[in-house]
Amino acid sequence: MKRYKYNRKCNACGEKIRELRLKKGLTQMQLAAQMQVQGIILEQKNISRIELGARVVADFELRAFAKVLCVEMEDLMEKPVEAGSFEDDIQHSEHVSK
């Protein structure tokens, strides 16, 4: 299976998960335990790899992280690229190809 990366990471939520975990005063071990209560079998090592961006996060795991951290799923994602930058890229590539 090919691994896809986003900004050199396997997920777009690890940094935010770490930020929210620390804000709640949880250790990685405590977060893993709370995820297990939600039916998601993760260990401290898995949490570490997620936070470092070295592990893919499944959609059902993201839902559980949101519930445990008391946020919406979209709050776990990195901020999107600024509006207009994709449009600028498209306009630039159209201009170059003409």
Q: pLDDT for 22-58, tens place per residue? A: 999 999 999 999 999 999 999 999 999 999 999 999 9
CATH number at residue 90: 1.10.260.40
Q: Which one has a higher pLDDT value, 53 or 94?
A: 53
Task: For residue 83, give both structure tokens.
Answer: 């509006």
**Residue 1 located in a structural domain:** no
Region label for 92, one of left (φ > 0), alpha (ψ between -120 and 50) or beta (otherwise) = alpha
Mean pLDDT of the chain: 85
pLDDT of 80 > 80? The answer is: no
pLDDT exceeding 70 applies to what percent of the chain?
76
Q: Is residue 2 part of a domain?
A: no
CB 47 within 8 A of CB 31: yes
Q: How many whole angstroms separate alpha carbon 44 and alpha carbon 81?
A: 31
Please give the distance of CA 52 from its chain centroid, rounded to a whole number.
10
Tally of structural domains, the chain: 1
47 located within any domain: yes
> Who's near 97: CB < 8 A, 6+ residues apart?
none
Residue 31 lies in a domain: yes
Domain membership of residue 5 (yes or no) is no
Give the domain extent around 92: 14-97
Residue 8 lies in a domain: no
Write down the pLDDT at residue 95.
47
